[in-house]
Amino acid sequence: MYARQLAFEGLTPQVIARRTATKQAQVKQGLKVAENPFATTAIAEHQLTMDQAADLIESEGEDDTVASLIEVATKQPEQFAHTAQRARDEKALAEQLAQTCVELREKGFTILESDPGYYDTDHTRISNLLSKDGERVTIEDIAEAADRAAFVRSFYSGQVEVIYYVADFKDLGFRKSDSSGSASGPMSDEDKAARRELIANNKEWASAEVVRREWLTTLLSRKTMPRNAGQFVALGVTQFRSHVSDAMGRGNELAHALLGIENNSGYWAPDKLGAIVQSSRTRAPQIALRSLSAASSRM
């Protein structure tokens, strides 16, 4: 690789980019791949692209993830970006879960492998307990309890939730509240399977949204309008007007983000996007395309 040879000569990625008429980000990515034996081997054995190899580096050492990414790259390359983002999100979430568990153990909590549920007799969720004074039991109330426990779970949005339990609530002077907030017994196998599917689908959607927004940003950063831009705008204000109207009514935050504009306008405040069009009418087509693209990005 010519860029790598220049790097050996001590040239910075910025200088290499100018000499090779290549974007600096691409130069950095190329050097990253070229200097990684794992990535170069993957390119040679599976004919991966430079972008795919760069994404693969993030999962080096994780055999199952690497195998899955290579399979998608070779059989369904159009799905690779989504799969890589999903792997990235799951890795970050797993690290967050692990860190939360470490912090809880350091505080003296036993980490439960599964959520005991309301009908479990070994552990009782503190949100279902009342103190002697009739107040809802809080984390502070069990700070000195020897049998305190926690169940840590995550959501597709990347949030981590901790549910706190105690084993012998009566010994602590607590009692169960009259309303548990649960009207049914334990979940059936069918309910559990449906919930797992829902969570998996939500995770897929969240990861895919990251990829869609990156693609949209790249597309709209071009100096020339896409060939079918006019038709797309027309469809946005006709066939998909309900989606567009909903996004516009809520301020269309993504459109402002794509244009690098701070969106601090209230419902009755002047529209900053409109102000740009009035001050520079030559940008009107680009403003319309970005506004419609942002508004319809979740369709």
Q: pLDDT (tens digit, 9 = 90+) per residue, 186-209?
A: 555 555 566 666 666 666 656 666
Q: Which residue has the higher pLDDT, 197 or 266?
A: 197
| Residue range(s) defining the domain that contains residue 257 | 222-295
Cα-based distances in Å from 48 to 45, 54, 83, 86: 8, 10, 15, 19
Q: What percent of the chain has pLDDT over 90?
A: 33
7, pLDDT greater than 60: no
**Co-location of 81 and 116 in the same domain:** no
| Element holding 161 (H helix, E strand) | strand 160-166
Pair of tokens at residue 38? 């794992």
**Domain check: are 6 and 84 in the same one?**
yes
Residue 288 is predicted with a pLDDT of: 74
Give the pLDDT band (50/70/90) at residue 184. very low
Residues 6 and 85 in one domain: yes
Same domain, residue pair 234 and 262:
yes
Q: Are residues 131 and 79 in the same domain?
A: no
Model confidence at 10, in pLDDT bands (50, 70, 90)? low
What pLDDT score does 125 carry?
92
Token pair, residue 212, equals 């869609």
The tokens describing 89, both together, are: 């999100």
Domain boundary among 41, 59, 89: 89
Task: Decide: pTM greater than 0.95.
Answer: no
In a domain, 42, yes or no: yes
Domain shared by 232 and 180, yes or no: no
Rounded mean pLDDT, 135-149: 93
Q: Which of 152, 159, 155, 126 is nearest to 141 (CA)?
A: 126
Mean pLDDT of 48-61: 91
Do residue 74 and residue 151 come from a single domain? no
Q: Of the ranges 38-47, 59-68, 151-160, 213-222, which one carries the lowest mean pLDDT score?
A: 213-222
**Phi, psi (5° rounding) for residue 153?**
-135, 165
Average pLDDT over residues 23-31: 78
Backbone angles phi, psi at 99, to 5 degrees: -65, -40
Q: Are residues 30 and 71 in the same domain?
A: yes
State which of 89, 121, 137 marks the end of a domain: 89
- Same domain for 277 and 232: yes
**Band of the pLDDT at 28, cuts 50, 70, 90?**
confident
Residues 229 and 159 in one domain: no
- The verdict on residue 191 lying in a domain is no
Q: Which has the higher per-residue pLDDT, 254 or 135? A: 135
For range 23-52, the mean pLDDT = 86
Pair 6, 61 in one domain: yes
In a domain, 48, yes or no: yes
**Stretch among 65-74, 172-181, 200-209 having the lowest mean pLDDT:** 200-209
Residues 73 and 111 in one domain: no
Q: Which residue has the higher pLDDT, 120 or 198?
A: 120
Q: How many domains does the chain have?
A: 3
What is the chain's mean pLDDT, rounded?
78
